[in-house]
Structures are given as structure tokens and as C-alpha cells.
Amino acid sequence: MEQFVPVKRSKDGQPVRYLVVDDSVFARKNLARMIETFGGQLCGEAGDGMTAITEYDRTNPDIVLMDITMPQMEGIEAAEKIVQKHPEARVVMVSSVGYQENIVAALQRGARHFVQKPVKPEVLYEVIKYVMGDDGTVASAAGAGD
């Protein structure tokens, strides 16, 4: 898998920490590998919306990558609950179902962005940079291998 110039946290230069929420183990592993290529750190995983909320409280991630269709509690509802409690939360929806209504519903309920599966690493990388905004910094290419 392609390596990207690491995205770090501006405040302390540490790797961006991710919580990955998907009921598919395959999808979680796939996203975890992408995160590694972005220089990020996987701080937690969840297989449903309910667990995502408790994992958010426990890990306090910089970014949440959240599937939509999941058992117990769907991703949009979980995103809304997380953002209600933590307005600073950056939730990116990652779903194969990318029709307009779904995207609008997710954004209206607190998600910052939407990425359709199958996820292209270069697309997710750009979204991460955008969502992190000034709180993220891209290490210089010269320092990327350090």
C-alpha cells in the first residue's frame, strides 16, 4: 500500500489518533492499514454504534471513521450522540451507501465528511487533512522518513 506524508497533530506533533467503527472486521482491518500509511495511530475499534460511544469516551480520538449500517445502533445516530456530548468530535462517515439523503442526514447530525466505500486511500487521506484543518500538520516530505 502506498505510503503518505504523515499527518500529525499540530499541538504536539504526535500521530493523529483514530477510532474505527465498522461491523465488518475486514473493513476495520482495511482502514487500520490505511491509517498506518497516513502515519496515524489506531486508538480504538468498535463493531456497532453503542460501543463507538463508549470507546469515544475512553479513547478521546482525533478522528472517528464511522460506518453507517451497523447492528444495535446505526452510524448516523452514534455520530449524533457523540457530537452532542463532544462538539469538537471529528466524525467521518465511511459507507458503501452514498446516496444524497444519507450524506445530508449524516452531515446534518454532526458528521464532518463522507467517504464512499470502496475507500480509496488517496481520497481518505485528503479528507483527513481537510477535517483536521489547522489542528493537523503534514510533515515535510524531507522529514517523512524520519
Partner 1 sequence: MKMELIQPFINAADAVLAQGLQCPMSIGNLSMEEEAYRRKGIAALIWITGDIEGRVILDLDPQTAVRVASKFAEAELPETDELVRETVFELANQVIGNAITVLNDQGFHFRVHPPVLHTSEHGPKSSEDTEALVICFETGIGDVFMNIALRYSHSLRTEQAAAVGQ
Question: Whose Cβ is closer to partner 1: residue 12's or residue 101's?
Answer: 101
Q: In what helix (H) or strand (E) does residue 124 lie, and over which residues does it extend? A: helix 121-132
- Joined grid coordinates for residue 41: 495511530
Are 6 and 59 within 8 A, CB to CB?
Answer: no
Distance CA 128, CA 121 (A): 10
# of chain residues touching partner 1 (CB under 8 A): 22
**Per CB under 8 A, which region of 6-14, 37-45, 98-106, 127-135 contacts partner 1?**
98-106
| 25 binds partner 1 per the rule CB under 8 A | yes
Please report where in the chains the cell 467503527 appears, as a residue: 21
CB of 104 to partner 1, least distance (A): 12
Q: Looking at 118, 134, 141, 145, which residue binds partner 1 (CB under 8 A)?
A: 118
* Closest alpha carbon to 34 in 103, 123, 142: 123
Distance CA 9, CA 30 (A): 23
Q: Looking at 37, 51, 116, 137, which residue binds partner 1 (CB under 8 A)?
A: 116
Q: Looking at 13, 29, 108, 143, which residue binds partner 1 (CB under 8 A)?
A: 29
* Positions that interact with partner 1 (CB under 8 A): 1, 23-27, 29-30, 33, 69, 71, 95-101, 116-118, 120
